[in-house]
Amino acid sequence: MSSRSVFRLLTTLASLNFPLTDDRPAFGGETRHHLAEHYVRKLPNMLVPQLSLTTRECLALFLLLAHDAVFTDSEIEQDLASLRLKLAVLIPSPPGTILPVPSIPTLFTCSPTGSSCLKGHEAVLDVLFAGLAQCRVLQISYLAATRQSPKTFSVHPLRLLEHQGGLYLIVRMAKSDLIRAMDFERIRTARLLGTVFATPPDFNAEALLAATFNLDFDDPITATIRFLSAVAPYVRHRRWSRNQTIEDHPDGSITLTLTTSGTRDLIRWVLSFGSAAVVLSPSSLRDAVRDEALNLAAIYTGKA
C-alpha cells in the first residue's frame, strides 16, 4: 500500500473508534501500528461475511433494542446501551443526505413495550425513513380515528417512535408548526417532496416523550392521584412519568404525583382503575373524572 493509502486507512479506523496503538522508534525508522490486543480476534481458517446493514435492518435492530424496560437500573441495561453504541459505529450515514442529520440510531426514540404490525406497509416505511434521513418534507395521506376518509398533510418528519406497542411518526405540521404524533398504521400513503427543512433547534424527542402520557401533546398538567392498596403494587412497579413521585400510606395505599400532557388520556387512565383511583388534584381534572363517572352511571342505570 502507498503511504497515502495507509494514512487514509488509519484515519478511517480512528473515525470508527478502533483502538489503535503504534510503536515509534526513538530516532526515526519504521513505525508499526497495532489494534489493541483485547480488540483483535484472529480467525485463520474462517471467512467472515461483510457486515452491511440495510435501512430496514437498522430499523429492526433499534426497535428490537427498545424492549429494555425490564432491565432498568441493571447491568443488562448498561450492556444494551453499549450494544447500541457499537451498532452505531457500524451504520454509515444515510445516502443522499442533503442537510447534516444525526446518525441513523438517533432518528428513533423508543418507549418500551410491544411491537408494531408493519406487514404490507414497508413501502411507506421506506419513504418515512428517507424523509427523516434527508430532512425532506413529506406529503402524507392520513386516516384519523375520528374520520371516515383520509386527509392529506404536508409535514416535517422529526422522529420515529415506538410507544406502547405501536409505531408513531413525530412531525411538525408544515402550515401550523404544531408538533403531532401520527400512528404509522393510519398513514395510507407517503410521498417525498423536493423541499428540505431544518429541525427545530429546541426539539427534544426524549423530553417530549417524558412530558406526555400517551402521545397527546397538550399543555402539561401535574396530577396527584390516590390508589387503594388493591392496585398499589401494580402502579408502584410501573414508571408512568419520568418525574413521578410516590408516597406510601399505612393502609397500603399510595399517592402518585406526576407531570404529563394529554389530559384526555389521563382521564381515561384514571377511570380504568374504577373506584380504586381517586384524583386529589388539580380540581379541573377531578371534576372531569367525576363528570365522566356520572355519565357512565347514567348510561348503566338507564337515566341517560
The whole-number average pLDDT for the span 242-264 is 87
Is the confidence at residue 268, as pLDDT, over 70?
A: yes
Nearest by Cα to 132 from 165, 163, 168: 168
Write the pLDDT tens digit of every residue in 130-149: 888 788 999 999 987 767 88
Query: Which segments of the chain are extended strands (E)?
Result: 20-23, 32-35, 108-110, 136-142, 151-163, 166-173, 179-183, 187-196, 221-227, 245-248, 254-260, 277-281
Is the confidence at residue 250, as pLDDT, over 90?
A: yes
Least confident residue range of 18-27, 58-67, 70-79, 277-286: 58-67
User: What torsion do the CA atoms of 56, 57, 62, 63 make, to the nearest 10 degrees?
Assistant: 60
Write the pLDDT tens digit of every residue in 157-188: 988 777 666 778 888 888 877 778 888 888 89
Region of residue 89 (phi > 0: left; psi between -120 and 50: alpha; otherwise: beta): alpha
Cα gap 105→89, rounded to integer Å: 10
Nearest by Cα to 142 from 186, 105, 178: 186
User: To 5 degrees, how large is the angle CA 8–CA 14–CA 18?
Assistant: 125
pLDDT for the residue numbered 71:
65
Is the confidence at residue 240, as pLDDT, over 70?
A: yes
SS3 30: coil
pTM value is 0.52
Write the pLDDT tens digit of every residue in 188-218: 999 999 889 888 887 777 666 666 666 666 6
Question: Mean pLDDT in the chain?
Answer: 77
Nearest by Cα to 212 from 280, 152, 163: 163
Cα gap 41→51, rounded to integer Å: 16
The more confident residue out of 230 and 31 is 230
Q: Are 133 and 98 in contact (CB under 8 A)?
A: no
pLDDT for the residue numbered 125:
81
Query: Domain map of the chain by residue range?
Result: 3-39, 55-209, 221-300
The whole-number average pLDDT for the span 145-157 is 86
Is the confidence at residue 222, as pLDDT, over 70?
A: yes
Write the pLDDT tens digit of every residue in 80-122: 777 766 766 655 544 433 333 334 444 445 444 434 445 567 7
Cα gap 83→77, rounded to integer Å: 10
Is the confidence at residue 128, as pLDDT, over 70?
A: yes
| Contacts with 48 (C-beta within 8 Å, 6 or more apart), sequence order | none
